Amino acid sequence: METTTATQAGNKRRFKSSHRRKDGYKLLLAALPFVLIAFAFSYVPLFGWIYAFFDYHPGIPLSKTPFSGLDRFREMFSDPRMGPVLMNTLALSFLSILTAPIPMLFAIMVSEVRSGWFKRLVQTVSTLPHYISWIIVYALAFSMFSTEGAVNTFLMKLGLGGAPVDVLGNYERVWTVQTLLLLWKSVGWSAIIYLAAIVSIDSEQYDAAKVDGAGRRRTIWHITLPSIMPTFIVLLLLSISNLLSAGFEQYLVFSNVMVADRIEVLDLYVYRLGLVTGDYSYSTAVGMFKSIISIVLLFTVNLLSKKFRGQGIV
């Protein structure tokens, strides 16, 4: 891919003035593969929505499958599990939105670190968890937090607390635990965008502020924060449109019978219905419902953004 863009750039320079139009086509053509890929992976699968309207069983072709119309959607509104599942999804999403400022604050703190090597070290260490898959995170969490895990053993050795602390099977605290795990995994990665935004702030502003006698806290408050606020708002709004996609793998691997009632989010429910119970049609219907709500949310948020900020996000 890089070679293509490099060639493109070369071509561009050579034919800059007189062939602008042709270049436009070329660029369009160069983008074509990605458009095709987006089409193939994001739009072609939408064909699968058709299964929500049939009584589908794998193996039997659609032509021989009875048409069931909107039955599945009706079923959805009388499904007693839908309520709790939506509740879990929204709760976990809100909690993650609530923690959204943390990566921003983290980025500001990192950018204020003077020592170059320490800054890089912190950044690397905090970004690393992003690359660890959830199943490994689960294994780590199990060896840390199970009743025989490192944390409990340590507490025992110190003679603290009689009964071992049960973190993974704690019904009351499961949302907190999951939010903290998610935060641990994502804070460094999410901070990268803010760090980039901070780097792009005109350094003259800081110099001017210093001349005016502003200390570090004041420069952060009056320059850094306002400058990265638009980034924050855009990310926040986007995450609101993602309210119903609270995540999947995390809750899949951390689910157990003790916490199942409060950890089952919409995506997990769709998975369980479709792949575990084998009810593909119903599962597709629920998935469709989720996509439609998400699209509605996205456009609502966009509309609000246009109204109050004067610019949209999509």
Partner 1 sequence: MRKKATLKLGAMMLATTSLLLSACSGGNNGNNASPSASAPASAGASSAAASPSASSEASKDLVTLRVLVMEPGTKWNKYNESPVAKAIADKIGVKIEYVEADENKFNVMLASGDLPDIVRSDVNKYQKQLIEGNLVVPMDDLLAEHGKDITANIPTVVEFSKKNWSNGTGKLYFLPPQVQAKSGEFVRPITIGPTIRWDWYKEVGAPEVKTMDDLLNVVDQIVQKHPKTDDGKKVYGVSMWQDWGLWPYTIPPIIFTNIAGVTSDLTMHETGSTKFISTLTDETSNFWTAMKFYFDANQRGLLDPDSLTMKNNDYMAKATSGQIVVGPATWAMGDFNAQHTNDGKGFIVIPGGKYAWTGEIRPLGWQDKSYSISKSSKNPEKAMEFLNYIYSYEGARTMYSGVEGQNWNMTDGKPTLTEDSLALKATGGIPLESSGMSLDLNIIGLGGDVANPQDGQPLNLFNTEEALIKAATPLEKDFAEHYGARYSGEVFGKLIKEGKLVSATTWMDNMSEDQVLKENTVPGVTLTDDWKKKEASLKELATRQAAKIILAKDEAAYNKAKAEALDAFKKAGADDFTKYYNDEVQRLRAEHGLQ
Give the residue with the Cβ less far from partner 1, 170 or 302.
170
State yes or no: residue 199 binds partner 1 (CB under 8 A).
Answer: no
CB of 290 to partner 1, least distance (A): 20
One residue of 20, 24, 36, 291 binding partner 1 per CB under 8 A: 36
Window 124 to 143, contacts with partner 1 (CB under 8 A): 142
Q: Other CB atoms closer than 10 Å to residue 140's CB: what's the count? A: 15
One residue of 13, 45, 61, 116 binding partner 1 per CB under 8 A: 61
Binding-residue total with partner 1 (CB under 8 A):
45
* Residue 103 CB burial class (10 angstroms; 0-12, 13-18, ≥19): buried
Distance CA 193, CA 295 (A): 24
Tokens of 161: 């607390």
One residue of 90, 183, 225, 260 binding partner 1 per CB under 8 A: 260
Task: Note whether 166 and 177 are within 8 A (CB).
Answer: no
State yes or no: residue 277 binds partner 1 (CB under 8 A).
Answer: yes
Scanning the structure block, which residue is given the tokens 């062939």? 19
State yes or no: residue 211 binds partner 1 (CB under 8 A).
Answer: no
Distance CA 181, CA 142 (A): 12
State yes or no: residue 55 binds partner 1 (CB under 8 A).
Answer: yes
CB of 58 to partner 1, least distance (A): 4
Distance CA 52, CA 62 (A): 12
CB of 60 to partner 1, least distance (A): 5
Distance CA 9, CA 21 (A): 15
Distance CA 84, CA 174 (A): 14
Task: Quote the radius of gyration of the chain (alpha carbons, Å).
Answer: 25
State yes or no: residue 148 binds partner 1 (CB under 8 A).
Answer: yes
Those residues whose C-beta lies under 8 Å from the C-beta of residue 154, and which sit 6 or more positions away, are: none
| DSSP for residue 169 | T
Give the residue with the Cβ less far from partner 1, 65 or 294.
65
Longest dimension (CA), the chain: 81
Give the residue with the Cβ less far from partner 1, 5 or 124.
5
Task: Note whether 280 and 60 are within 8 A (CB).
Answer: no
Window 168 to 197, contacts with partner 1 (CB under 8 A): 168-169
State yes or no: residue 84 binds partner 1 (CB under 8 A).
Answer: no
State yes or no: residue 311 binds partner 1 (CB under 8 A).
Answer: no
CB of 43 to partner 1, least distance (A): 14
Binding site for partner 1 (CB under 8 A): 1, 3-4, 7-8, 11, 14-15, 22, 26, 29-30, 32-33, 36-37, 40-41, 55, 57-61, 64, 81, 142, 146-148, 164, 166, 168-169, 256-258, 260-261, 272, 275-279
